[in-house]
Amino acid sequence: MNRVVIFILCNGIALIFQAASAQQRAVSIKEALLLVQSQQPQVAAYKERADAASYDINLARNTLMPQLDVGYQAGYATYNNITGMSYPGLIMPISGPPSLSNTYDPVPGTAAAALLKWNPLTFGQRQAAVDKAAAQYKLAASQYDDALFREQYAAINAYLEAVYLQKLLAVIAANMERTNAGLQQSLVLAREGLRPGIDTAQFQSALAQAEMDRLNTQRQYQSQLSELSRLTALPEMPDHIQLTDTMLTAQIPVQAHAGGTYTDNPLYRYYQAKKSLSESALKEVQRAWRPRLDIWANAYSRGSGINADGTVHKADGWSLTRNNYGAGLQLSFPVLQFSQVSIRKKQYRSLLKADDAQLSQVALNLQKQSETAQYNYRQNLLVAQQAPVQSKAVRYAYEGLQLSYQSGLTDYTRLIQGQYDLLKAEIAEAGAYLQVWRSLLEIAVVSGNLQIFTDQLK
C-alpha radius of gyration, the chain, whole number: 40
pTM: 0.81
108 — phi, psi (to 5°)?
A: -75, 155
448 within 8 A of 265, measured Cβ to Cβ: yes
CB atoms inside a 10 Å sphere around CB 329: 12
Asked whether residue 352 carries a pLDDT value surpassing 50, the answer given is: yes
Distance CA 146, CA 261 (A): 16
Q: Any idea what the Cα angle at residue 110 is, between residues 106 and 113, rounded to 5°? A: 150
Distance CA 103, CA 257 (A): 93
- Summarize the confidence of residues 375-396 as an average pLDDT: 93
Confidence of residue 7 (pLDDT cuts 50, 70, 90): very low
- Summarize the confidence of residues 114-130 as an average pLDDT: 87
Q: Give the residues across from 26 on adjacent strands.
A: 242
Provide the phi-psi class of 70: left if phi over 0, else alpha when psi is between -120 and 50, else beta.
beta
- Summarize the confidence of residues 370-396 as an average pLDDT: 92
Distance CA 279, CA 353 (A): 10
Confidence of residue 257 (pLDDT cuts 50, 70, 90): low
175 within 8 A of 209, measured Cβ to Cβ: no
Distance CA 29, CA 163 (A): 11
DSSP secondary structure string, 347-380?
Answer: HHHHHHHHHHHHHHHHHHHHHHHHHHHHHHHHHH
- Summarize the confidence of residues 306-319 as an average pLDDT: 74
Q: Where are the alpha helices (DSSP H) in 22-124?
A: 29-39, 41-61
| Residues contacting residue 234 through CB under 8 Å, at least 6 positions apart | 25, 27, 35, 39, 228, 241
Confidence of residue 430 (pLDDT cuts 50, 70, 90): very high
The predicted structure's pLDDT at residue 63: 85
Q: What is the mean pLDDT of the chain?
A: 84
3-class DSSP assignment, residue 421: helix
Q: Give the residues across from 331 on adjacent strands.
A: 293
pLDDT in tens, 263-312: 999 999 999 999 999 999 999 999 988 888 888 888 878 777 777 667 77
Q: Which helix (H) or strand (E) holds 27?
A: strand 25-27
Q: Which helix (H) or strand (E) holds 393?
A: helix 338-406
Task: Please give the single-letter amino acid code of residue 264.
Answer: D
3-class DSSP assignment, residue 65: coil
Distance CA 170, CA 122 (A): 72
Of the chain, the percentage scoring pLDDT greater than 70 comes to: 84
Provide the phi-psi class of 321: left if phi over 0, else alpha when psi is between -120 and 50, else beta.
alpha
Q: Which domains occur in the chain, in start order? A: 2-39+123-290+336-454 (1.20.1600.10), 66-120+292-332 (no CATH)
- Summarize the confidence of residues 186-194 as an average pLDDT: 67
With the C-alpha atoms ordered 405, 411, 412, 414, is the resulting torsion angle positive or negative? negative
Distance CA 271, CA 363 (A): 10
229 within 8 A of 245, measured Cβ to Cβ: no
Distance CA 409, CA 421 (A): 19
| Residues contacting residue 246 through CB under 8 Å, at least 6 positions apart | 163, 166, 167
Per DSSP, 333 falls in state -
